[in-house]
Every structure is written in structure tokens, then in C-alpha cells.
Amino acid sequence: MSDACCGPQGAAEPEAGPEKLWQVRELQFATLAAVLLTAGWFVGRAGFEGAAHAVELAAVAAGAITFVPDAIRNLRHGRIGVGTLMTIAAIGAVALGQFAEAALLGILFSIAEGLEHYAVSRTRRGLRALLSLVPPKASVLRDGGEITVAPGDLVVGDVMVIRPGERAATDGTIRSGQTSLDLSAITGESVPVEAGPGSDVFAGAINGGGAIEVEVTALAANSSLARIVHIVEQAQERKGAGQRLADRIARPLVPAIMALAVGIAVVGAVFGDPMLWLERALVVLVAASPCALAIAVPLTVVAAIGAASRHGALIKGGAAVEELGRIKVVALDKTGTLTRNKPRVIDVVTTDDFSADEALRWAAALEARSEHPLAQAIMTAAGDAPTASDVTAIPGHGLHGDLDGRRLRLGKPTWVPPGPLAADVERLQAAGATVVVLARDDVPVAAIAVRDELRPEAAEAVSLLKRLGITVAMLTGDNTRTAEAVAAEAGITNVHSELLPEDKAALLRTIAQGRPIAMVGDGINDAPALATADIGIAMGAMGTDVAIETADVALMGEDLRHLPQVLAHSRRARRIMVQNIAFSLAIIAVLIPLAAFGVLGLATVVLIHETAEVFVILNAIRAARITALPGVSAIAVRSTTHSIDIGPAPTLDDPCCGPQSTQSPAAKLNLPLVAAEAASNDHGCDCCAPAGPPPAGDPTASTETNRR
């Protein structure tokens, strides 16, 4: 906060930040200055004026040490900020013999700086709690025996032994054993997940059942938790529209204030008492300093994103927070969003010449290499099946390929004509099932009905969205009958069915009707729509690289009620941003004329100005509060040390502007990672802008296009 250009300094501060108020450096010096100022007052009352002035000057030095060095450093770089204004005002007050006023300025400014520092550290502590979920040790099978190693020593292919009550040190796949996994600290959902051989285990998951053996699939540095921490760190530094507005105001305001102060001093010297008007000019410098404006939005963003991350929602920056707060329309994908994403075959209708087992076997042969949820349901129902050759997927329609010299086609009834099975297809669709038709040598032989049950909380989530005044629509590639049946059960009347992926994207603007719209999908199949919407929200994104990297918001859990929760949370955060900006500008507008005409003196202006700044800080901290859903737990904040290499940290090329382009070697950290505050460029100077866009993610995961 000491510089409106380049933000907080203090590169030497520990990354974890102070956990207690008395540990904050600025508050320590402010207390020392206050003690010295009080002592100087008593010495002066005792009649020792010279000694009193000396003690007051010491108080000035103690209070100013928190911001004057940074201001001088910034001046060497040709940058002028709030710290510069305060430094000039302090020096001017000393020159005018107002030692007590100069000391009071330093004390109050240091207190405000210290409170901001503490507030940022506090709001980021929830993020650090994520890394505390990694246990300090892990049991692993090596050389025929079980040994204990640090999480950072695990390698891909190791087999971890996780006993009941223990946490997973990194991501892996269960090789043996049956259990239930508690993912509440990661996804925000307290309902355990049943897991067995082949199930994924994420770092930080608690084994709630029997002992399991888990094959490591990712280094601790690349685990799901490490990715989440990195993403949230980066998100806290990204600017939204409100923050950019504050920047646009603050950037020209500082030099304008200095010009105004010089003008007041010059005009006053010509037409009045030069010393009187010089003093008023110094008071104007303090009155117009945009300290509160500079922190109005950044602190709110940090608090809001940190709170959301503790409740299973990753919000990608201030822009996403603000845009979420404006959302009036939500478009929901059906499969995997409104439904459980665990479809199963409920019926197989065949012609007289073939059996249901034969039909499932042929359908599974086409689906053998598909990752589509319907494919998995068919393969599970079929059991062992051969693999067809020359299989080609037709996006939005289905598959075709060869098996035993016969041509097979499997897909939507609109692509594969059901022929004599048409009545059965209509009946199954009316029952809410998704139906695919199998043809052999262009002759329909079977209709396979698959149904994905609606999430139990879907209707409640839709109701909560409507209570927020949000219009809800459902977009799906499924047939109209099935879509309407599912939508009716969820309480949605605006239904759009039989859509190709590109159709969903094109339809969003029509649904929105000029209002801000969010698209909620799985982050992969609905990629075009997620990218087109004002905000793309990935549902159930835990462990999905593509979803986490591409969506503006990633809901880590499977509880759909997280959606209205994060929308309500963002609305509240946006209101706080607007309140802070309006209040900051109002204080400046009121204080400037009062200071210029001598109504308020330096001490009074400093007190009012810094009190307003404290109010903005406290108001911003309110964005860290979020109401947990029933049956949902927030991550408990703990202070735990770790030794996990989770990637290189940026080096400071410039003490003012923070990290630039170079990277230092990866270092082993004994504290959870948090982003350096100086890197944020929160206060709007172009001197600290990055040279280019951040490196794009390189997701390699592939999946089949939503084709049904």
C-alpha cells in the first residue's frame, strides 16, 4: 500500500506473512513511534522543549521508516505514488516545525499499512491450508518392504500404503483394497466417496475405510493440490473491471494531486501568507492521497477468492469475481452437470433375429476406445467385448466401424433410422432415457436405452438460482423427450435439446438477450460454449486438467449447490468493491476543499484519511466470509510446515515492481506457497506491467466430442 504505483514492498518479508498482529513490522514501528511521541509530550510538559523536539523527531523517524525508503527507491525508478505524497508531507511538516503532526502522520499511515499487510496474510491463510493437507510422511513399498519417505521423494510408479485415517501424499490410483474417501477439504463436500481398485485418489484425501495400496501417478509437485494452489495464487493477482477502474483513477490522480498542491502553494504565496499556504498545500497532499482507493478492490479480490477456494470453488481472478457478480442467466449442460454422470443401461430392445447380449457386444465393440459416459455404460453392461476396426466418430451423431466383416453404426435415432424399433425408441425417450440405435449393414437391429439419474440436489440448486433472480436454461445434445423429462424433474422450463457442441455456443447469446450469462458444463465437451459465455464454469473439475485450466471458475466437487453459493458470494464481493471505491472517492472529494481552505489541519486530515483506509480494509475483509452449504465443510485453517517442491518461484528483478521474466531454480519450501504481493501490480502503474501474456497451459488430455 505504500505506493499506489507498485503496491506493497518489503521483499524480505516471509512468504507466509505474520500470523499475529504484534508480528507485523509496520505495527511494531508504529507502536514505537507512538511511545516516543507520548514520551516527547511528557518531556515538553516538563519544560524541556529541546529534548521534547528530539524525541518527537525520533518518533517521526520510527513512523516514516515503513514507507520513506520505498518512496525514495521508487523515485530513483522515476515513479511517484502514495508513499511519495506522504514522504513530502512528512518532510514538509518537519520543515515547518510541526514535529508532532509529522510523527502522527507516520504512525497512522504505518498502522494502515500494517493492517492491510495483516489482512492480506489472513485471507491467504485459507489457501495455505490446502497445502497443509499433505502429510509430512508417506508409507511406500520398495524393495520388498515398507518404508517411510517425504512426499517430495515419491516417484511415479511407487505404491503408497494408506491406512484408515491417513491422508494421501499425492495423486494415485488404487491398486488393491476397498475404502471410502473423504474429499471434504478439497471439494467442500462431506459425503464420503466409495473407492476400490482403479479408482482415483487425490492428494489430501482421507482414507475413511480399510488399508489401501495406491500407485502414484503424479509427483507431489504436480499433484491436484499443487495445481489448485498455483491457480488460486495466479487468480489473486488478476485484475477485474472494478480494479482496472480504480487503477485508471489512481494513476493520474497522484501527479494531479502534486500539481494541485504546488498550485495552492504558489497562488497562496502570491496573494497571501506563503508559509500558511505552503502548510495548506501539504495538508492537501495528505487529504487527496488515494491510499484507500488503491486497496479498495485488490484486497476484496484476495479475500473473495481465498474464501471461495476453501469451499471447493476456484475463481480465476478479479475479473471472474466481478463478472460472476453480474450474472443474470445460467445455462446448464445436462450430462454430468444436472445428472450424476454415471449412466447405466436400463433396457435393450432388439429385432426378432438378435439377442440383447449380441447387440450390447456389437455396440461395445464400437465404444471400446471411447471416453464418453454413454460408452462406459454400454461397455459395463456388455462385459468382455471385441474391438471393432476402422472406427470413426461423427461429432454430435455417433460411431461407425467394422466387425467380423460387417458394417456397424451406433448413434442418435436421427442419424441411425430406428425403422421397426421407432415405437420402442419413443417409449424409452418418454421415460427419460437416452436411446442409441445400432444398425448392422444399415439394418437396425437394436435400441439401447441409457439413463443418467438426476442429481438429488439439482432441483434445490435450480430453486436457489431462481431465488437469486437468475434465469436458468438447459442445453443438451440429447433428444427432446429425454431433455424435457429431466428438465421438468429439475424445475427448468427453458430447454434446448438435440444440440451439437457448436450449436450450444451459438445459442447462448439468444438465451442471454443482452444479459450476462454463465455456461456450466464439464469443461471438456462443452468447451465452445464455456469459451463463448461471459463466464465458463466447470462442474466436478477435481483432477481434470483441461477443466481447471480452461474454465473461468472450476467447482471441484459434485454438489450442484456450489453453483448458487459461488454466485451469491461473488455478488456480495462485487457490492463490497463498489462500496469501497465509492467511499474512497467520497473521502477524497470532501477532504480536499476542507484542507485547501484551512478548515482541517494536518493532524485532523491524517486521522480522518487513515481511519477511512482502515474502514475500507475491514469492509474488504467481509468478502472472506461465505456461508457453508448444509452438509458441506470449509477447510480448517492450520499452520503446518511442509517440504514439498512445487515449482520455481519468480525472482525479483526490481524491488518495486516484483517478478518479471526470469525464474529462479525450484526451491524446497518449508512454508506453503503464496504469491508475492509485489508482483500484483494492483495499483495501476504501467511500469510494473508484465512484458507479455503468461504462458498458456498445455493440457494434453483428450476426450471424445459430445456426440449424442
Catalytic residues, by residue number, are 333
**Cβ atoms 553, 535 nearer than 8 A:** yes
CB atoms within 10 A of CB 135: 18
Distance between CA 472 and CA 334 in Å, rounded? 12
Distance between CA 106 and CA 27 in Å, rounded? 11
Separation of first and last alpha carbons in the chain: 54
Phi, psi dihedral angles at 177 (to 5 degrees): 105, 155
Distance between CA 358 and CA 466 in Å, rounded? 47
Which residue stretches of 327-367 are H helix?
356-367
Residue owning grid cell 518527537: 56
- Sign for the CA dihedral angle at 374, 376, 378, 380 comes to negative
Largest Cα separation within the chain, whole Å, is 115
All cell numbers assigned to 587? 473521502
Rg (CA), the chain: 31
- Nearest one of 459, 461, 563 to 521, comparing CA atoms: 563
Distance between CA 607 and CA 605 in Å, rounded? 5
Distance between CA 315 and CA 428 in Å, rounded? 40
* Residue environment code for 61-91, b if the CB has 16+ CB neighbours within 10 A, otherwise e: bbbbbbbbebbebbeeeebbbbbbbbbbbbe
All cell numbers assigned to 179? 475404502
Distance between CA 143 and CA 159 in Å, rounded? 11
The 313-315 sheet, strands edge to edge: 313-315, 553-555, 535-539, 517-521, 329-333, 471-475, 494-496
Q: CB under 8 Å to 698, separation ≥6 — which residues? A: none
Q: CB under 8 Å to 693, separation ≥6 — which residues? A: none
Which of the 8 DSSP states describes residue 686? Answer: G
